[in-house]
């Protein structure tokens, strides 16, 4: 997942690290930089003999990647020290389809975290860079969305309406989330709200049958509002925890279809509107999410097909751009191929994960 972005961010981490090492070396008293570069040695205690040369430690060769340590004095990083590395990072993010406002926010965050004075005994510049990148990315990624927690703290049935453009994975996501919630001990009913596309009712019926989830359906061509109204009624009378409402794919530019969605909204009164798009669509997914959020509203986002997305730009930008959390990521075609979006995990994986 997002392998291309991971590789580029790890290269950016190294590049920023080298810039800071150079800055640190230039601030060392004569001769100290060379010795530190040769033998970083163990962490030193804060001692009054500032500026003493680092000991020629017996641990030479024990660290293969040479790292300058910020020892018992300050490292002062200027804007100039990181300017080139930051503009390379900016290009990297834009090339990875990270939206411009999100890119700007990440660069500003890294700059804020790096430029200035640092005085952490024994911290390597790499740890400093890693911390700066992590907190900048986390700020942009937002908080995620704990669906189980939401359901537990709201009146039942919790009604969730899924929207989005054609073919992005709405129906599959409804099935996957149904399986996920069942696994968490909730009861679920699905409303077959796509009465428009031929085969759509059968498709959701097959998923629901395999998963042992009740599905409420009408005939092809029926009013989807009526189907979803019935689904909510069923859930209320059977004390079902969650209603998952599938809908037909539509573009926000199709006024009649958006009016239909508006009617669905008025009739079923969803607690959550979830916008589904595919991670592989990159910036297009972010733009479409903004439009849906503006026209019909969105409370959270699911990005599907992350297994096919190397660039990762949509996943990085979508929450920051539309101001709504990314809730799940779809990672394949199986029912279990869905993971709650946990920003801290994603950031660790991007900055520290292996190939």
Q: Give the interface with ligand GTP as residue ranges (CB under 6 A).
A: 166-172, 194, 197, 200, 248-249, 304-305, 307-308, 330-333, 337
User: Which alpha helices (DSSP H) does 74-223 contain, by range?
Assistant: 79-95, 100-114, 125-141, 147-152, 170-183, 200-211
Stretch that binds Mg ion, among 9-17, 42-50, 93-101, 162-170 (CB under 5 A): 162-170
Min CB(234)–ligand GTP separation in Å: 22
Which tokens go with 238?
């059977």
Q: What's the closest the beta carbon of residue 168 comes to ligand GTP, in angstroms?
A: 4
Query: Smallest distance, Å, CB 285 to ligand GTP?
Result: 12
Query: Which is closer to ligand GTP, CB of 200 or CB of 347?
Result: 200
In angstroms, rounded to a whole number, what is the distance separating the alpha carbons of residues 133 and 141?
A: 12
Work out how close the CB of 321 gets to Mg ion at its nearest, in angstroms, rounded to a whole number.
Answer: 25
Report helix, strand or coil for 277. strand
Give the tokens for residue 112: 């804020």
For Mg ion, the binding residue among 96, 103, 113, 171 (CB under 5 A) is 171
C-alpha 334/C-alpha 262 separation (Å) is 31
Contact assessment for residue 267 and residue 294, using Cβ atoms and an 8 Å cutoff? no
168: partner contacted, choices Mg ion, ligand GTP, none (Cβ within 5-8 A by kind): ligand GTP
Residue 332 binds which one of Mg ion, ligand GTP, none, with CB within 5 to 8 A depending on kind? ligand GTP
Judged by CB under 5 A, does residue 195 bind Mg ion?
no
Which of Mg ion, ligand GTP, none interacts with 271 (beta carbon under 5 to 8 A by kind)?
A: none
Which two three-digit tokens encode residue 127?
Answer: 């740890």
Nearer to ligand GTP, 96 or 171 (CB): 171
**Closer of 169 and 270 to ligand GTP (Cβ):** 169
Taking the complex as a whole, the smallest distance from the CB of residue 207 to Mg ion amounts, in Å, to 10
Do the Cβ atoms of 170 and 276 come closer than 8 Å?
yes
* Residue 197 CB, nearest approach to ligand GTP (Å): 5
Query: Could you tell me the CA-to-CA distances from 319 to 99, 252, 325, 333 in Å, in that order?
Result: 11, 19, 5, 24
Can you tell me the distance from the alpha carbon of 328 to that of 276, in angstroms, rounded to the nearest whole number? 10
Q: What is the dihedral of CA 290, 295, 296, 298, to 10 degrees?
A: 20
Looking up tokens 């073919």 gives 167
Q: What is the CA radius of gyration of the chain?
A: 26
**Which of ligand GTP, Mg ion, none does residue 74 bind (CB under 5 to 8 Å by kind)?**
none
What residues numbered 36-55 form the site for Mg ion, per CB under 5 A? none
* Identity of the residue, 126 or 194, whose beta carbon is nearer to ligand GTP in the bound complex: 194
Interface residues with Mg ion (CB under 5 A) are: 170-171
């Amino acid at each position: 997942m997002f392998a291309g972005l991971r590789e580029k961010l790890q290269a950016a981490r190294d590049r920023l690290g080298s810039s800071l090492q150079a800055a640190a070396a230039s601030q060392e008293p004569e001769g100290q930089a060379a010795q530190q570069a040769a033998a970083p040695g163990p962490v030193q205690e804060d001692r009054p003999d500032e500026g003493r040369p680092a000991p020629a430690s017996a641990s030479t060769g024990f660290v293969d990647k040479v790292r300058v340590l910020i020892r018992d004095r300050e490292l002062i990083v200027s804007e100039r020290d990181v300017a080139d590395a930051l503009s390379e990072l900016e290009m990297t993010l834009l090339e990875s389809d990270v939206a411009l406002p999100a890119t700007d926010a990440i660069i500003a965050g890294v700059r804020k975290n790096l430029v200035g004075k640092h005085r952490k005994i024994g911290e390597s510049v790499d740890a400093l860079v890693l911390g700066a990148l992590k907190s900048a990315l986390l700020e942009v990624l937002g908080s995620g969305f704990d669906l189980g927690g939401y359901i537990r703290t709201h009146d039942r049935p919790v009604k969730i309406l899924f929207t989005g453009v054609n073919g992005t994975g709405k129906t599959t996501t409804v099935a996957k989330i149904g399986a996920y919630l069942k696994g968490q001990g909730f009861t679920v009913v699905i409303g077959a709200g796509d009465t428009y596309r031929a085969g759509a009712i059968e498709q959701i019926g097959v998923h629901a049958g395999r998963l042992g989830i009740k599905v409420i359906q009408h005939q092809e061509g029926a009013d989807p509002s009526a189907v979803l109204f019935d689904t909510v009624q069923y859930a209320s009378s059977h004390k079902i925890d969650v209603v998952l409402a599938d809908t037909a794919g539509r573009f926000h530019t199709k006024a009649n279809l958006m009016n239909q969605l508006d009617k669905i909204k008025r009739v079923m009164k969803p607690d959550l509107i979830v916008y589904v798009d595919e991670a592989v669509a990159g910036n297009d997914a972010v733009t479409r999410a903004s439009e849906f959020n503006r026209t019909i509203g969105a409370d959270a986002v699911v990005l599907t097909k992350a297994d096919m997305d190397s660039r990762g730009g949509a996943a990085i930008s979508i929450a920051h751009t539309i101001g709504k959390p990314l809730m799940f990521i779809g990672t394949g075609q199986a029912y279990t191929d869905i993971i709650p979006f946990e920003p801290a995990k994603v950031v660790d994986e991007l900055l520290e994960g292996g190939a």
